[in-house]
Amino acid sequence: MTFMWIWAMCLVSFGGFFGAIGRFQLGSYLSRRFPSSIPYGTLTINLLGSFLIGILMKYHAYDNWKLLIGTGFMGAFTTFSTMNLECMRLLLAGQWKVSMLYTLLSYTGGILLTFIGYYI
């Protein structure tokens, strides 16, 4: 193992630690504040993460920042697997319209906000 590899792992780990905590705190708060069949916590987190990663791309962040914020923080903050689980739960509960709306908002909104973040 080289020093640069260890340094990269430390940056990703540090960013991931705070990204996971941020996701948990914000997701919990939004779920309590806005109870609904649409999982607003995960939707908001994924859309915010898409916007922020667009900003990171725009400013051609140095490799250390990409590792810390892009891979570490955003990788742990946004949550594709949770979104898919919530979509599946909605489908199993017979709420297929809500599931499709949630999926559409997540993907379309995520791509749109990445572009907006990049072009700001």
Q: Would you say 82 is a known binding-site residue?
A: no
The residue extents of the domains of the chain are: 3-119
Q: Is 41 annotated as a binding residue?
A: no
The pLDDT value recorded for residue 61 is 64
pLDDT for res 42 = 92
- Of 115, 108, 45, give the one whose Cα is nearest residue 73: 45
What confidence score (pLDDT) does residue 62 get?
Answer: 74
* Contacts with 27 (C-beta within 8 Å, 6 or more apart), sequence order: 41, 42, 45
Per-10-residue mean pLDDT of the chain, 120 residues long, equals 90 96 95 90 93 83 84 90 88 95 94 93
- Separation CA 10–CA 18 (nearest Å): 13
Burial grade of 83 (CB within 10 A; 0-12, 13-18, 19 or more) = buried
